Chains A and B, each alone.
Chain A
Amino acid sequence: MTYRNPPTTPRKSATFDDYTLSEIRRAAATGIYDIRGAGAKRKLPHFDDLLVLGASISRYPLEGYRERCDTSVVLGSRHAKKPIELKIPITIAGMSFGSLSGPAKEALGRGATLSGTSTTTGDGGMTEEERGHSKTLVYQYLPSRYGMNPRDLRRADAIEIVIGQGAKPGGGGMLLGQKISDRVAEMRTLPKGIDQRSASRHPDWTGPDDLEIKILELREITDWEKPIYVKVGGARPYYDTALAVKSGADVVVIDGMQGGTAATQEVFIENVGQPTLACIRPAVQALQDLGMHRKVQLIVSGGIRNGADVAKALALGVDAVSIGTAALVALGDNDPRWEAEYNELGTTAGAYDDWHEGRDPAGITTQDPELMKRVDPIAAGRRLANYLKVMTLEAQTIARACGKNSLHNLEPEDLVALTIEAAAMAGVPLAGTNWIPGKNGF
């Protein structure tokens, strides 16, 4: 009998993990970077790293089913003659017709309207489906200006000037040829079937001084009626917020890196921008330093999933949140009922993010006439409304437990953090301590 030395257990590298190895092999085989939809998938400090304190001897709660807890919010009261009044502080983020199907856009409008909130167009212009089914519709003003026209500008309820988005601050849109149907091509004034690359910069202004003049033009065109939002990706939230306010914005929208996109480079999504949690306090601080907190409203998006996230974001000083990915899931995105078809595409329910390919089994991120039939806009809109209702009830539950008769009365003092990172980002104490990293010289 020969003696063998005891073997070590095969060990995989933490640095070169299975995903990284697969990406190297994929890049070597294709010579092109990986493109996908959705937002950052890596683990990031998030609202889960915060806890709400609730009531105690020094704070008394409100009765859960008897005492009112207001959820309404007014957006755009700074300059607009017709500010937007929403019943809940959860809005639907901009997603384009083109990246989404017509029925999916209609469902978003229906769900938002049932819930008393707004929905938003995207990088493809305004469709009749969404205008018709959205009581309150925010019209995005993007670098590409696809479909932009004064008639739609005037029939919008608010205008959102998009500087960037959380998934790709500094990147333009991307819609690959397989999704450029006749209708999409016509709306974007482009040949059918080409890979469409939206600009990353606005064509007729650069910098905050120009932005101020651009906002003036849009106000003049719309007779100062519409609230004007400025949306930025989570890059430099303090300065971006301050500059947006200086430029005349009514509302600032900040989208953290968990915020989704229809399509961009994986390397962009995972490596550029800041987590949503890291963006909130600097933005609120900028508003407070300018004396504009609650006068210019702040909307934050990127990874908002439930009423706890809503309550925590509002406690940090946000006026409203916006959801995109979660809204698509409510419509039916990544539903396990299509698992066999996800498997055929080499993926699994919950991981499907090749939205740019237009073969979405759930029929949402597609222009395929057969696939898009899988979204019943009425039923899907109802599901979105149900989901928004649950989120609102959850946020109210937390607010009442903190003794607040309005979601907007939640405050940073209602929160603690579970990690040092989250404590530093959110500017709230580490649980069990009175330590806020970076404050008081520590």
Chain B
Amino acid sequence: MPAINVSTALDQSHASRVFDLAEMPLRELNQALHNLTLGSNETAWEVLNPKGSHSVAVGVDQPVTIDVRGSVGYYCGGMNDGSAVTVHGSAGPGVGENMMSGSITVKGDASQYAGATGRGGLLVIEGNASSRCGISMKGIDIVVHGNIGHMSAFMAQSGNLVVLGDAGDALGDSIYEARLFVRGKVGSLGADCIAKEMRPEHLELLQGLLDRAGVTGVKAAEFKRYGSARTLYNFNIDNADAY
């Protein structure tokens, strides 16, 4: 499912449904979002006063836009399947965990495990992301405008992680088939992760990701690609020192 253009929804702010978490419990917000059915007119949602609440807008499976005005706690947009969430603040651990489709944009920074095990959709962090960004990712696309912390893309299986800044230590440890694109420095590479040639198809793929994430003024050619050396795919005792 293609990402939804967030700005369109904001233009229709007169039609948005406002949920103030200072007035209403989280349970009612998530239940109302789960009650949505295909074709519902309530396509634009606004969440006020999140104040670090956990599990804001989790398990949404309809193509609505959700603007969260403030910072959120753990697992915002968890298992998102089609909605376009924008966090106008920072996000706690596990933002967009196991996302299936749709998009999540964090205007601030993201804590640990951003996009963990995500299967699809687009996660954009406009600030920095902490450690273990994209851990065990399974098809999600993640674009981080700033830096990412250590152990990012650990055991990453599939999908693309794009970092405009630097990556911390042990990037891509035990990586499978995910692709990593880093524009800045890499602290160190994890077991079985190597720098790889940037071929035309990768430049094209990366440019598409940058475009979808709204990144301008940055060229795909400025990035290096990293991925699996595939030497740990089948156990070999001579590789035991790598673990």
Determine the residue in chain A with the shortest Cβ distance to B74: A213
Query: Out of A30, A31, A204, A213, which one reaches B117, CB within 8 Å?
Result: A204
**Across the interface, do A204 and B116 meet the contact criterion of CB distance under 8 Å?**
yes
With a cutoff of 8 Å between Cβ atoms, the chain B residues found around residue A53 in the complex are none
- Contact of B79 with A by CB under 8 A: yes
* A200-221 to B contact mask, C-beta < 8 Å, 1/0: 0001110000100110110011
Q: How far is the CB of A247 from chain B (nearest CB, A)?
A: 13
Stretch at the interface among B7-15, B200-208, B231-239: B231-239
- Which residue of the partner chain, among B59, B112, B113, contacts A221 with CB atoms under 8 Å? B59
Binds B, one of A186-194, A331-339, A403-411: A186-194
Q: Are A224 and B27 in contact (CB under 8 A)?
A: yes
| Inter-subunit contact B235/A148 (CB<8 Å) | no
Interchain CB contact under 8 A, A203 and B136: yes
Known: A153-B79, A203-B113. A189 touches B157 (CB 8 A): yes
Taking the complex as formed, is A1 at the interface, i.e. its CB lies under 8 A from any CB of chain B? no
A223 touches B93 (CB 8 A): no
Main secondary structure of the interface of A (DSSP, over half): loop
Are A150 and B59 closer than 8 Å at their CB atoms? yes
A220–B59 CB distance below 8 A: yes
Known interface pairs A144-B136, A149-B119, A213-B54; A189-B100 also in contact (CB < 8 Å): no
B90 within 8 A of A: no
Closest to A154 in B: B59
Given A149-B119, A217-B54, residue A195 in contact with residue B75 (CB < 8 A): no
Residues from chain A with Cβ under 8 Å of B74 in the complex: 205, 210, 213-214, 217
B139-174 Cβ-contact flags toward A at 8 Å (1 or 0):
100000000000000110110000000000000001
Q: Which residues of B contact A31 (CB under 8 A)?
A: 237
B75 & A213 in contact (Cβ 8 Å cutoff): yes
Cα–Cα, bound, A31→B74 (Å): 44
Q: Is the CB of B155 within 8 A of A199?
A: yes
**Smallest CB separation, A63 vs chain B (Å):** 50
Cβ of A32 under 8 Å from chain B: yes
Q: Does A294 lie at the interface of the complex (its beta carbon under 8 Å from any beta carbon of B)?
A: no
* One of A189, A194, A221 near B233 (C-beta < 8 A): A194
Instruction: Give the residue name and chain of the B residue nearest to A197 (CB).
Output: B174
Report the minimum CB–CB distance from B239 to chain A (whole Å): 11
Bound-state Cα–Cα, A151 to B79, Å: 10
What string of 1s and 0s marks CB contacts (under 8 Å) between A286-314 and chain B?
Answer: 00000000000000000000000000000
> Judging by beta carbons under 8 Å apart, are B235 and A32 in contact?
yes
Taking A150-B59, A190-B176, A213-B74 as contacts, is the C-beta distance between A223 and B116 under 8 angstroms?
no
Interface size on B, residues (CB 8 A): 42
Interface string of A113-155 (1 = CB under 8 A from B): 0000000000000000000000000000000110011110100
B132 to chain A, nearest CB (A): 7
**B114-125 interface mask toward A, CB cutoff 8 Å, 1 = contact, 0 = none?**
001101000000
Decide yes or no whether A177 CB sits under 8 A from chain B: yes
Residue of B nearest to A32 (CB): B237
Q: Give chain B nearest CB distance to A80 CB in angstroms.
A: 14
Contact A221 B31 (CB under 8 A): no
Could you tell me which residues of chain A, from 153 to 211, have a CB within 8 Å of some CB in chain B?
A: 153, 176-177, 188-191, 193-195, 197, 199, 203-205, 210
Interface status of A241 (Cβ within 8 A of chain B)? no
Measured in the bound complex, the distance between the Cα atoms of B12 and A298 in whole Å is: 51
Collect the chain A residues with CB atoms within 8 Å of residue B55's CB.
213, 216-217, 220-221
B43 within 8 A of A: no
Instruction: Determine the chain B residues whose CB is within 8 A of the CB of A367 once the complex forms.
Output: none
Give which listed residue, B97, B135, B158, contacts A189 with CB less than 8 A.
Answer: B158
User: In chain B, what residue has the closest Cβ to A174?
Assistant: B235
* CB <8 Å contact, A150 and B61: yes
Question: In the bound complex, how far is the Cα of B34 from the Cα of A344, in angstroms?
Answer: 56
Interface string of B216-243 (1 = CB under 8 A from A): 0000000000000000011101000000
A222 within 8 A of B: yes
Residue in B closest to A31 when the chains form the complex, CB atoms: B237
Answer whether A223 and B31 are a contact pair too, CB < 8 Å, given A150-B100, A189-B157, A203-B116: yes
Query: Which residues on A sit within 8 Å (CB–CB) of B237?
Result: 30-32
Contacts A32-B237, A221-B78, A221-B79 given: A148-B117 contact, CB under 8 Å? yes
Q: Hey, which chain B residues are within 8 Å of A223, CB to CB?
A: 30-31, 34
Bound-state CA distance A168–B235 (Å) is 19
Give the residues in chain A near B119, CB-CB below 8 Å: 149, 189
Decide: B139 and A148 in contact? CB cutoff 8 A: no
Contact indicator A220/B116 (Cβ below 8 Å): no
In the complex, whether B177 has a CB less than 8 A from a CB of chain A is yes
C-alpha spacing A188/B81, complex, angstroms = 19
Min Cβ gap B98→A in Å is: 6
Among A30, A204, A222, residue most surrounded by chain B Cβ atoms (within 10 Å): A204
CB distance from A36 to the nearest CB of B (A): 15
* Distance between Cα atoms of A195 and B171 in the complex (Å): 21
CA distance A191 to B157 in the complex (A): 9
Interface status of B73 (Cβ within 8 A of chain A): yes
B26 with A189: CB separation less than 8 A:
no
Kindly identify which residue among A151, A188, A194, A204 contacts B234, using a CB–CB cutoff of 8 Å.
A194
List, in ascending order, chain B residues with CB within 8 A of A199's CB: 136, 155
- In contact, A189 and B58 (Cβ under 8 angstroms): no
- Complex: A220 Cα to B32 Cα, angstroms: 11
Selected from B75, B100, B177, the residue in CB contact (under 8 A) with A204 is B75
Tell me whether A217 and B31 are in contact (CB under 8 A).
no
14 contacts between A and B (CB under 8 A): A32-B237, A144-B136, A149-B100, A149-B119, A151-B81, A177-B234, A190-B176, A191-B177, A194-B234, A203-B136, A205-B74, A217-B54, A217-B78, A221-B58
CB-based closest 8 A-B pairs: A221-B59, A204-B94, A194-B233, A204-B113, A204-B116, A145-B117, A150-B79, A189-B138
